[in-house]
Amino acid sequence: MFFVDLPFVISETQNSKNKYFFLDFFRSKVLQSLVKNRLKMKHIALFIFFLFIGIQSNAQFESNSKFKPIPPANMGVPINKTKPKEPEPEPSFAPEMPSIKAPNVFNSTSIIPKQPQTSTYQIGKEKSNFSMSTENDFANPGDRYVAGMEKDLNKSLRAEGLKEGRGELVKRNIDFGQIKTKSKYFIIKLRDFGAIDGDLVKVSSNSKVIVAQLFLESAFREVKIMLDPGFNKMDFEALNIGTLGGNTAEIKIYDDQNILMANDYWDNLATGFKASILVIKEE
């Protein structure tokens, strides 16, 4: 009876959606078969074991299945694949603004770009390139500073006594003051403290000519003057002006003990003018 009813049970379990209902139903059928046929427990246990394995494998197969969607059928309606047209931009009524461009530092040192002549946004006026002086494109830009540098250099050299200049000539006599002494004579040393340019000097004492024409060099030249009791006026007259400027000279006066009594100079003295010193010889 058990084997006759088994196909019917299996067919019913395949159409059943509720597996728990199948188990209950199967258990009831097994119990009925056990009572009717009195089969051995060993055969029943083996049958139940294989039945449970089949149910479990069927459940795993159903749980691993994936859903596959079915694409819709083409009903003959054409599909429009063209892109929609973009809306045209509306006209702008904003005022015209000048374009801003980054300056090219390799072509110009100005950070403000040049505006065209017709631009209404230009600020200021462009510097005119008009010049009355002729310029050479290949001239050295430093040449314009040479004249000024030479002028400053000449001024410094004249101040240090290294060069003479044709500035304004001194057209007056120069007084070196007076000296009191008991010396019998004075040694006068004269030299040109500037550039050697042919300066000539006449040396006299109390209107008596000691040296009619003394050529001034870079080294000192000595002149000995005997002193009369009382006043001795010594004159040093510029006989000319040198080729580089006025008459220039440095003078040193020593007594008979070789003691320096005076040290002075004249610069850019005009022709015919004198530098004088009064020596008073005491008894």
For the whole model, what pTM was predicted?
Answer: 0.44
> Final residue of a domain: which of 64, 81, 108?
64
Residue 71 forms part of a structural domain: no
Residue 212 sits in a domain of what CATH number? Answer: 2.60.60
Which of 18, 36, 64 is where one domain is finished? 64
Residue 194 located in a structural domain: yes
Q: What is the pLDDT of residue 126?
A: 54
Find the range with the poorest average confidence among 121-135, 140-154, 228-242: 121-135
Enclosing H/E stretch for 201: strand 200-205
The answer to whether the beta carbons of residues 172 and 273 sit under 8 Å apart is: yes
Dist CA 63 CA 56 (whole Å): 11
pLDDT confidence of 195, banded at 50, 70, 90? confident
Kindly state whether residue 128 falls inside one of the protein's structural domains.
Answer: no
Instruction: Provide the number of structural domains found in the chain.
Output: 2
Question: Is the residue at 191 inside a domain?
Answer: yes
Q: Is 109 helix (H, G, I), strand (E, B) or coil?
A: coil
pLDDT average, residue stretch 212-231:
95
Place of tokens 């395949």: 14
Amino acid residing at 123: I
User: So what's the pLDDT on residue 43?
Assistant: 67
> Is the pLDDT assigned to residue 110 strictly greater than 60?
no
Whether 247 is in a domain gets the answer yes
Q: SS3 sequence, 126-181?
A: CCCCCCCCCCCCCCCHHHHHHHHHHHHHHHHHHHCCCCCCCCCCECCCEEEEEEEE
Residue type, 51: L
* pLDDT of residue 209 exceeding 50: yes
Residue 255 backbone class (left: φ over 0; alpha: ψ -120 to 50; beta: rest): beta
In this prediction, residue 193 carries a pLDDT of 84
Q: Return the pLDDT at 194.
A: 81
For residue 148, being part of any structural domain is answered with no
Band (265; pLDDT cuts 50, 70, 90):
very high
CB 33 within 8 A of CB 2: yes
Confidence category of residue 4, pLDDT binned at 50, 70, 90: very low
Size (the chain), residues: 283
Please indicate, yes or no, if residue 104 is contained in any of the structural domains: no
In a domain, 192, yes or no: yes
Looking at 10, 43, 64, the residue that finishes a domain is 64
Q: Which domain holds residue 21?
A: 2-64
Q: What is the mean pLDDT of the chain?
A: 73
- Which amino acid, residue 90? E
